Amino acid sequence: MPKISKLAVLTSGGDAPGMNPCIRSVVRTAIYNGLDVTGIRRGYQGLIDGDMYQMETRSVSNILNLGGTILKTARCLAFRTDEGMELAYQNIKKHQIDAMVVIGGDGTFTGALRFSQKYPDVAVIGVPGTIDNDLYGSTYTVGFDTATNTVIQAIDKIRDTADAHDRLFFIEVMGRDSGAIALRAGISCGAEAILLPEKETAIDDLIENLKNGQRKKKSSSIVIVAEGDKHGGAYDIAKIVEKEVKNYDIKVTILGHLQRGGSPSAFDRVLGSRLGFAAVNALIAGESQKMVGLEANHIKLTGLEEALTQHQFKLEEDLMQMAEILSI
């Protein structure tokens, strides 16, 4: 088992609330175990540019409550090239780093896997940090819980005004190809319909459902549209529906990037801390090319390749059915 002495940590891709508690956990667990820790700024871009600094116990004081990431993040195209990876490797060698914890989503893990296959002398462990909740091997990703709570607070407010004006709202939420946020938010807010990428909804059925609501004298209706839905965005769907559903004032809200910000929930602070702790312990135990996740409340290691190839959010059909029944 190769012994590690210097570990680097970075956040990459879209930020997610809970990344800071995770960074704090990585730094302090590493220091507790006698390792040196280097923080890389702006993800893989910082690795290529050599933008890094030594982290101490106090470098991560009072960050548990902060959204975003103190290390900053980026989507780095250069890291997809052989030249970019070589520059990153040279910086790693120059700073005598022998292991990395990368916190991010599927793009981050794709980079980490390619890099560690090319340069296997640098051990890499991934922590799932994305609001999309779409990585195989962890029931929850860091940031999903906070983002969903942010979404439901916004939708509750929209419900107030929708109800006051007897309006129909189409609300678009993030998640890329994943309907995880849309489904949880739809159940939590009693949405009349939830449109997800994982399940094609016939537009005719949606129209019938909304007309039914009108017949039953529903004062307002809310349709949640996951951004990856096959019919297009909330504006496209609203345009189709308004031709058929009369006497309903239709409005569209795109929640956008506010979903990624804000102080992490207790759940995400604990999840980030647990996964950061587990990532460092996995590296000390000699693991590499794995993702740490949480399943049935236990830490689990999954190969990065497996986490990526099966990475889609698995739609819980029973939850979808329940949401439909409860919104009659």
- Range in contact with ligand F6P (rule: CB under 6 A) among 125-133, 218-226, 243-251, 285-293: 125-133
Region for 219 from its dihedrals, namely left if φ exceeds 0, alpha if ψ lies in -120 to 50, beta otherwise? alpha
The residue within the footprint of ligand F6P, chosen from 38, 73, 130, 133 (CB under 6 A), is: 130
Q: Is 269 in the site for ligand F6P (CB under 6 A)?
A: no
Q: Which is nearer to ligand F6P, 123 or 127 (CB)?
A: 127
Q: What is the sign, positive or negative, of the torsion defined by CA atoms of 297, 264, 181, 69?
A: negative
Q: Give start and end residues of each alpha helix (H) in 33-81.
A: 43-49
d(CA 169, CA 159): 9
Q: Is 105 in the site for ligand F6P (CB under 6 A)?
A: yes
- Range in contact with ligand F6P (rule: CB under 6 A) among 172-180, 184-192, 211-219, 308-316: 172-180
- Least separation, in Å, of the C-beta of 123 and ligand F6P? 25
- Range in contact with ligand F6P (rule: CB under 6 A) among 22-30, 159-167, 174-182, 276-284: 174-182
Residues 50-69 that bind ligand F6P (CB under 6 A): none
- Range in contact with ligand F6P (rule: CB under 6 A) among 28-36, 158-166, 173-181, 268-276: 173-181
The residue within the footprint of ligand F6P, chosen from 47, 131, 152, 323 (CB under 6 A), is: 131
Q: Nearest CA to 89 among 119, 68, 69, 61? A: 119
**How distant, in Å, are the alpha carbons of 42, 164, 290 from that of 218?**
48, 12, 49
Q: Is 132 in the site for ligand F6P (CB under 6 A)?
A: yes
Map residue 300 onto helix, strand or coil.
strand
- Least separation, in Å, of the C-beta of 19 and ligand F6P? 12
Q: Which is nearer to ligand F6P, 12 or 201 (CB)?
A: 12
Which DSSP string do the residues of 185-245 spell out, in sequence order? HHHHHT-SEEEBTTBPPPHHHHHHHHHHHHHTT-S-EEEEEETT-TT--HHHHHHHHHHH-
How does DSSP classify residue 264? Answer: P
Q: Is 17 in the site for ligand F6P (CB under 6 A)?
A: no
The residue within the footprint of ligand F6P, chosen from 67, 175, 197, 264 (CB under 6 A), is: 175
Query: Which residue is catalytic, options 15, 98, 106, 132?
Result: 132
- Least separation, in Å, of the C-beta of 37 and ligand F6P? 26
Q: Which is nearer to ligand F6P, 213 or 228 (CB)?
A: 228
Single-letter amino acid code for the residue at 80: R
Question: Does residue 229 have an active-site annotation?
Answer: no
Q: Which two tokens stand for residue 221?
A: 């209706």
Contacts of residue 47, defined as CB under 8 A and 6 or more positions apart, other chains included, come to 8, 10, 40, 79, 88, 91, 92
- Range in contact with ligand F6P (rule: CB under 6 A) among 29-37, 81-89, 117-125, 127-135: 127-135
Size of the site for ligand F6P (CB under 6 A): 11
Q: Which is nearer to ligand F6P, 171 or 280 (CB)?
A: 171
d(CA 174, CA 151): 9
d(CA 181, CA 74): 22
Q: Is 176 in the site for ligand F6P (CB under 6 A)?
A: yes
Residue 303: exposed, middle, or buried by beta-carbon count in 10 A (0-12, 13-18, 19+)? middle
Q: Which residues bind ligand F6P (CB under 6 A)?
A: 14, 75, 105, 130-132, 174-176, 227, 260
**Mind telling me the catalytic residues?**
132
